[in-house]
Structure 1
């Protein structure tokens, strides 16, 4: 039982039920409605419940369940970002920005070059443009992901104070 998650006031509300359960005076565990009447939050009710995740999810309303999904997603994303990125060197970011700038410049020069010709653009030239545009979009998305990770405290940059304290 996870009584440590409860405030003193909340623990006083459920203490008689817990004592009875520990002494074996009641054969059944507290129901979701019993715990809800005790004024516990969804997280606290889950901490007191034993059983399968499906049973725990059934005690929540849709909004509470989605909030738990969002929290779990943030937690897993944070741990994976920290594991995958490690500590980022500022030089790595600068190299990525230079590469992205070169791709943008190359794309713009190709579009300008192809727009000056009177003949139709060939399939190979069109594929080159498309491939370059897709690489630029992927790099831009990657850059946004890294910036968001830095601001959210999911990534650390050498020499930069963390956003989360």
Structure 2
């Protein structure tokens, strides 16, 4: 079906013909049902209303958000967040060399050892621990926590297949 721009005079002549053609054409709903894509049928089976399916089919995120209930919308956000994070992790990490992991583990071990020795050292003195010493301990503890959190993130990425370690078989999902 082609779309044409008509002048007002041309539109007056064509309008009766268009109305007649629309009346004789099969109903759009019936035609759409016979030509439904598998994804549309899946949405219908998922319990979405016609309005929700139409908004999702049209692809407008704003319309789709308005058509979904709160739970469905949050599920959509979670799925999108997972996919975007996965793609970013694949891009950012790429292939990890085992030496990179070892260097991170050595650095983390050094920080832990330094932290433990400082705590032990400060606990042996009779004097109160100064503000500068406490700041040093706090900063070291925060760095340790960040490295530990980063290590957990990398381990999870390796297990779920978003990060590849050179020489290590990918985890089966």
> How many equivalent residue pairs?
137
Unaligned runs of 5+ in 2: 1-27
Show CA shifts across 1:115-137 (max 9, x none): 00001111221111111111101
In structure 2, the CA distance between the partners of 1:68 and 1:19, relative to structure 1 (3 Å rule), is closer
TM-score by length of 2: 0.69
- 1:65 positional shift: 1.4
Is 1:39 aligned with 2:47?
Answer: no
In structure 2, the CA distance between the partners of 1:47 and 1:159, relative to structure 1 (3 Å rule), is farther
Question: Superposition RMSD on alpha carbons, in Å?
Answer: 2.8
The runs of at least 4 aligned residues of structure 1 exceeding 4 Å deviation read none
Which residue among 128, 135, 140 is the counterpart of 1:132? 140
TM-score by length of 1: 0.72
Quick check: which has more Rg, 1 or 2? 2
Name which of structure 1's ranges 64-73 and 102-111 shifts more when overlaid on structure 2.
64-73
Is the 2:56–2:64 Cα contact (8 Å) retained in structure 1?
A: no
Which residue among 101, 115, 131 is the counterpart of 1:93? 101
Unaligned runs of 5+ in 1: 1-13, 22-34
**Equivalent residues in 2 for 1:37-116, closer than 5 Å:** 39-41=44-46, 42=48, 45=53, 49-50=57-58, 52-116=60-124
